[in-house]
Every structure is written in C-alpha cells, then in structure tokens.
Amino acid sequence: MRLQNKIAVVTGGARGIGKGVSELFAKEGATVIIWDLLEDGEQTASNINSKGHQAEFTKISVTDKPAIEKEAERIHQKYGKIDILINNAGITKDRTLHKMSEAEWDAVVDVNLKGVFLCTQVVSKYMKDAGYGRIVSAASNVGLRGNFGQTNYAATKAGVIAMSKTWTMELGKYGITANALAPGFTLTEMTEQIPKEHLDGIKKQIPLQKAATPLDIAYGYLYLASDEASYVSGICLTIDGGISR
C-alpha cells in the first residue's frame, strides 16, 4: 500500500473528486480526515470505515481560521502528525465579466484561494516540525487557459498554482513538497448542472472525447501525495484528457 500509516486531511472530501481521493487514500492505507461543510462527509467516512479502512469526518469551513487551527491541533494530538494535505474544496459562481457581482467574486476567492492559503498555513506548521509533508492543491485547466464566464474561478485556480510554487521555495528545506493538480472536465455534483447539449460540446473539445471520473483525478493526487513523488515539487499536474497541451 502506497500511503501506509500516513495521516491525510482532504478538504471538500464529502463528495465529488474529494470523495474519490478520500476513498483511494484510505484504500492505500492512509487514515483520512475529511474536512467539509456538507454532512454527507459523515456518510463518506462511514462507507470507508465499513470497508475496513480508516476515515473520519469533521464539519468545518476552509475559510474559518480559528476552527482550522483547533482541528489541526486535535488531529496532531490524536495521531501525532499530519503527513498529507489535499486542498480540494472549491466552488464556482459563474457569470460573464460585466454581470459578475462583487459578492460572486468574493465568495469564490474566499473558498478557492483564501481557504487553500489558510489550511496550508496552519497544517504546514505541523509538517515543518515533523520534517515531512505533502501538500497538493486543486487548480483547474481553467487556471491555465481561462474560461468564458469564470473570471473569479480562473483567477483563483491560477493563484493556486502560483501559491504552490511559492511554498515549494519556502517549505522545501523542511522536507515538504507542494504541488498543484489541474483536473479537466470531471463528472461530479459541481458539473452536473451543465446542460446536456453544452456537455456534448465540451466533450468534443477534449482529445480523449470524454469527461474524467473522480477516480481518474484521484490517481494523480495519490502519486503526488506518495513517497514515489518525493522529488516532485512546484509542478502543476494536468489530468484533463489532453485539453491543455
């Protein structure tokens, strides 16, 4: 097993890609702590435990610094370390430039950018003390290419890539790697509201002609979180069916 005895926090792990990551990490031997706002996280964790793997759920927002500090300290007290942080939680509030409100801008920046900053700032202190850490944060192919109607979202995903490169420089000497992962179009609750005709149009633009599953993306997180990637830091791994080549 590739994550034997590792303690992994997965934000936004209740559903979608984060759920896929939590299930795969637990199967690979990690104890997974799901941080999410949705109560579904309880069910996700209990399904993992019912298979004989280890997971727990904490209801928390990645934007709430005092709560993150308290929760990270609880995990450290209980398990003695936090090896892996997967900054996966993210939201969209799409609108074209002239129609986008400040509230829509702020909401997306708050979760997708500030949330990643806060979780990493808090958790990496424990990694620094331990001399080991793996941080992988959710970017998007949209952060590399832009996207119609996603000024706020694209900005945050480009920001995640830049933050990861910065942390590579600041945290590398403590044995911590920091990478971004840019999924392409993935079938989850986030994308299920897209109308079918638009969906077909998106698929035609993808060289592999199909959407990703959460598991397709989770395998990339697994690699970057594993010891096999111990000399990989500051990259953005794209898993997008070849769209951002």
Ligand X SMILES: NC(=O)c1ccc[n+]([C@@H]2O[C@H](COP(=O)([O-])OP(=O)(O)OC[C@H]3O[C@@H](n4cnc5c(N)ncnc54)[C@H](O)[C@@H]3O)[C@@H](O)[C@H]2O)c1
Q: Could you give the residue numbers annotated as active site? A: 153
Indicate if the alpha-carbon torsion angle 47, 50, 54, 59 is positive or negative.
Answer: positive
The reply on whether position 220 binds ligand X by CB under 6 A is no
Q: Which is nearer to ligand X, 112 or 132 (CB)?
A: 112
**Smallest distance from ligand X to CB 144, Å:** 11
- Total residues interacting with ligand X, rule: CB under 6 A: 29
Q: Which is nearer to ligand X, 7 or 62 (CB)?
A: 62
The reply on whether position 88 binds ligand X by CB under 6 A is yes
Q: Which of 2, 56, 67, 91 binds ligand X (CB under 6 A)?
A: 91
Site residues for ligand X, 53-72, by CB under 6 A, read 61-63
Total Cβ atoms within 10 A of residue 97: 10
The reply on whether position 159 binds ligand X by CB under 6 A is no
Q: Which of 124, 140, 226, 233 binds ligand X (CB under 6 A)?
A: 140
Q: Which of 3, 7, 15, 135 binds ligand X (CB under 6 A)?
A: 15
**Smallest distance from ligand X to CB 68, Å:** 10
Alpha-carbon distance of 226 to 80, in angstroms, equals 19
List the x/- string, 94-113, binding to ligand X by CB under 6 A.
Answer: -----------------x--
Alpha-carbon distance of 3 to 31, in angstroms, equals 9
Longest dimension (CA), the chain: 51
Q: Which is nearer to ligand X, 52 or 207 (CB)?
A: 207
How do beta strands 84-87 and 54-59 pair? unpaired
The reply on whether position 151 binds ligand X by CB under 6 A is no
Alpha-carbon distance of 24 to 45, in angstroms, equals 12
Alpha-carbon distance of 59 to 53, in angstroms, equals 20
**Smallest distance from ligand X to CB 244, Å:** 11
Q: Which of 159, 183, 220, 241 binds ligand X (CB under 6 A)?
A: 183
Q: Which residues form the interface with ligand X (CB under 6 A)?
A: 11-12, 14-18, 35-38, 61-63, 88-91, 111, 115, 138, 140, 183, 185-186, 188-191
